[in-house]
Amino acid sequence: MYDIEALYEAATTEEAIALLQEHPEARIIAGGSDVLIKIREGEMAGCSLVSIQKLDELRGISMDGKGTLRIGPLTSFSHITRDPLIQAHIPVLGEAVDMIGGPQLRNIATIGGNVCNGVTSADSASTLVALDAVMEYRSSGGIRLVPIQEHYISAGKVSLGPAEILTAILIPKESYKNCYGYYIKYAMRNAMDIATLGCSVNVRLSPDKKTIERMRIAYGVAGPVPKRAPTAEAAAAEKPVSEETVTQAGKAALNDVNPRSSWRASRELRLQLVEELAKRALREAIKRSGGSV
């Protein structure tokens, strides 16, 4: 069923990097929910794999002294949703990954795999982009920090170099302190489906809840890679909390996207969703922040 040339199992991150250097044609496998399907379908038939499943140092969530949240790439979606730090500081990420597949998939699939496969429809991706996540890469040359918007290069391609491994996803304190988020996944079915469009909003209101101090909005499937909508963000930043601001931000988002037509939806439908989901997600994020539109 699975045409695999060789499987190498790393015991440490250093060993995983060394194995990738020794076998440059090899691919990393963690949970295997994406890789094994590609092998079974023939897309990666005859490949060599480096398993990092035993690297517990790449699993779990912690916070450092500066308040930066550190998410290990081998952390499963189920663990992210239930983690106390996620629930306390960025519950929107737990909600987003809880929309992926079914319980069995969420128990084995990892957030690192979800962002490293490079697909624009990944449910964690737009929320991580809205949170200004930073990707920590590691190679034999040391550690490299890459903003998540530079992590995605093109459809299905990320900026990891040869023999380089994602070792953490970092969420700076500035991105979540007094911020509240909301993610909407629009799909043809309510469960077990790929997003037709995803929209994630992250908002910080003024102490009196009357002004939007800071807004981040990011989309999946609105272009070849997950991306922020800076024109929409500018339309909302430092503006009053009002329906007019919400409407202007939704319309402005159309300047930041470039969706395509596919069998799931036409470009025209996706453009309608870009505007409408921006308004809905922004309203809900404002509500969670203690504001009222």
Secondary structure (DSSP) of the chain: ---EEEEEE-SSHHHHHHHHHH-TT-EEESS-TTHHHHHHTTTTTTEEEEE-TT-GGGSSEEE-TT--EEE-TT-BHHHHHH-HHHHHH-HHHHHHHTTSS-HHHHHH-BHHHHHHS--TT-HHHHHHHHTT-EEEEEETTEEEEEEHHHHEEETTEE---TT-EEEEEEE-HHHHTT-EEEEEEE-SSSSS---SEEEEEEEEE-TTSSEEEEEEEEEESSSSS-EE-HHHHHHHTTEESSHHHHHHHHHHGGGS------SS--HHHHHHHHHHHHHHHHHHHHHHTT---
List every span in the chain annotated with CATH 3.30.390.50.
176-288
Annotate 84-112 with b (16+ C-beta within 10 A) or e (fewer): ebbeebbbbbbbbbbbbbeeeebebbbbb
How far is residue 198's CA from residue 101's CA, in Å, rounded to a whole number?
15
Instruction: Tell me the pLDDT tens digit for each residue of 125-148.
Output: 999 999 999 999 999 999 999 999
pTM of the model as a whole: 0.94
Contact 19, 59 (CB under 8 A): no
How far is residue 20's CA from residue 28's CA, in Å, rounded to a whole number?
8
- Does residue 190 have a pLDDT over 80? no
| Average pLDDT of span 23-48 | 84
Instruction: Tell me the pLDDT tens digit for each residue of 42-91.
Output: 888 888 899 999 999 999 999 999 999 999 999 999 999 999 999 999 99
Instruction: Tell me the pLDDT tens digit for each residue of 191-235.
Output: 678 899 999 999 999 999 999 999 999 999 999 999 999 999 999
Q: Which range is least confidently modeled, 38-42, 62-66, 99-103, 260-264?
A: 38-42
List every span in the chain annotated with CATH 3.30.465.10.
58-174
Q: How confident is the model at residue 277 (pLDDT cuts 50, 70, 90)?
A: very high
Domain covering 176-288 in this structure, CATH number: 3.30.390.50
What local confidence, expressed as pLDDT, does residue 43 receive? Answer: 80
List every span in the chain annotated with CATH 3.30.43.10.
4-51
- Does residue 124 have a pLDDT over 80? yes
Domain covering 4-51 in this structure, CATH number: 3.30.43.10
- Strand 69-71 and strand 61-63: pairing? antiparallel
How far is residue 162's CA from residue 25's CA, in Å, rounded to a whole number?
9
- Does residue 104 have a pLDDT over 80? yes
Task: Give me the CATH topology for the region 58-174.
Answer: 3.30.465
What local confidence, expressed as pLDDT, does residue 1 receive? Answer: 62
| Average pLDDT of span 5-23 | 95
Mean pLDDT of the chain: 94
- Residues of the chain with pLDDT > 70: what percent? 99
| Average pLDDT of span 230-259 | 97
